[in-house]
Amino acid sequence: MNKIESGDKLDFNNVLIRPKRSTLNSRREVDLTREFKFKYSSQIWNGIPIIAANMDSTGTFEVYKCLSTFSIVTALHKFYTIEDYVQFNETKPDPNLFMISTGINDDAISKLKAVFQVIQCNWICIDIANGYISRLVEFCQEVRKEFPDKIIVAGNVVTREIVEELILNGKVDIVKVGIGPGSACTTRLKTGVGMPQLSAVLECSDAAHGVGGHIISDGGITCPGDMAKAFGGGADFVMVGGRFAGHDENPGEIVEEANGKQYKMFHGMSSDKAQKTHYGKMNAYRASEGRVLKIPYKGSLYDTVNDYLGGLRSTCTYINAAKMKNMAKCTTFIRVSQQVNDLFASSSS
């Protein structure tokens, strides 16, 4: 018998954050840095808990160069070679501020071993589209055994039971949460599978924190307010893809159209474009679950990051959260039918 789960499931655009009396009189009084200890790794991490997605447009060495100045993490995409990492290591990167990404294919652990022979890094991101397959938990166990002190991230999932499974049995420190919310993702259209991102964050953060783990909210960020809602909903880290694309620091040429508007290209990692670029073809048994998009050219990534950090500081002053770690306990959401007045949105620059 088919089942329909009752109760509303909400996305970021279904809510606003209720303001409350605040003793903070300036954004300067807000501390966005956090310190994390982990269930399995003995590492202690300090920084601003935002992560550039491990996509080939955003999880790059150039993006790392920018984001590391803010103590923000870059999840490097999994298609860099050992030679690439040798060259990257010559720049003396901070091992706390980038992740080595991997899939779960047969040679994944041997490649990880090879990477860690040429570069020091404290993070491993085990990234697959469908975090519900049994092989993911098995692979996470193998990675933990091989790299017992790394901060291990795994995903993607959107429900309580698999978050607990990955933490308790997969021995991961952080679970990546999000199926289909990304701007370049078509998983929900192709499969009908997913969960509105705010509800996923609320459910999965509660589950993770109950067993001593953490979560990353991955996807669905359209503006600084969405990022604030993710943190307010209990996310420990927020991962950003499309909003960190389209800048000077992202790969690809600037394309100027006849109307004078400038763009850079951005694509999902399950798109036909990505599959052909990195694997030479799209296998016949799969469907493309990603879009190829034209992103308006945005100039410097530094400016976008400062805009997002400024928005987060402002949120904190509205809810009396002097520190980033206090955002969840200071946040009350209210259901809304409309977030903004977009009367003149089409005429804005």
- Residue 183 belongs to a domain: yes
Helix (H) or strand (E) holding 166: helix 160-168
Cα 327 vs. chain centroid, distance in angstroms? 18
Decide: helix, strand or coil at residue 224: helix
Q: How confident is the chain (349 residues) per 10-residue block, as mean pLDDT?
A: 84 97 95 98 98 95 98 97 97 98 96 98 96 97 98 97 98 96 82 94 98 97 98 98 94 86 72 49 48 85 98 98 97 93 69
- Residue 303 belongs to a domain: yes
Which positions are catalytic? 185, 187
Cα 165 vs. chain centroid, distance in angstroms? 20
Q: What is the DSSP string of 269-322?
A: TTSHHHHHHHHSS--TT----B-EEEEEP-B-HHHHHHHHHHHHHHHHHHHT-S
pLDDT at 259: 85
pLDDT at 291: 61
Sheet holding 262-267: strands in order across?
255-256, 262-267, 292-296
Which positions ≥6 away from 231 have C-beta within 8 Å? 238, 312, 324, 327, 328, 331
* Distance separating alpha carbons of residues 166 and 157, to the nearest angstrom: 10
- Residue 7 belongs to a domain: no
Q: What is the DSSP string of 15-68?
A: EEEPP-------GGG-B--EEEE-SS---EEEE--EEE-SSTTTSSHHHHHHHG
pLDDT at 179: 95
Counting the structural domains of the chain, the total is 1
pLDDT at 289: 52
- Residue 251 belongs to a domain: yes
- Residue 348 belongs to a domain: no
Strand duo 50-52 + 262-267: pairing: unpaired
Strand duo 50-52 + 333-335: pairing: unpaired
Which single residue is written with the structure tokens 């036909």?
272
Residue 219: give the domain boundaries. Answer: 16-280+288-336
Q: Evaluate whether 167 touches 187 at the Cβ level (below 8 Å).
A: no
Q: Evaluate whether 242 touches 182 at the Cβ level (below 8 Å).
A: yes
Q: Evaluate whether 264 touches 62 at the Cβ level (below 8 Å).
A: no
Q: Tell me how many degrees the CA angle 227-290-191 measures, rounded to the nearest 5.
A: 95
Which single residue is written with the structure tokens 């071993």?
113
Which single residue is written with the structure tokens 């956090």?
34
C-alpha distances (whole Å) from 285 to each of 81, 105, 172, 192, 288 are 27, 17, 30, 18, 10
| Amino acid type, 154 | A
pLDDT at 281: 45
CATH code of the domain covering residue 326:
3.20.20.70
pLDDT at 285: 46
pLDDT at 190: 84
- Residue 233 belongs to a domain: yes
pLDDT at 255: 86
Decide: helix, strand or coil at residue 114: helix
pLDDT at 196: 95
- Residue 344 belongs to a domain: no
Q: Which residue, 68, 82, 123, 116, is CA-closest to 101? A: 123
- Residue 8 belongs to a domain: no
| DSSP letter (8 states) at residue 163 | H
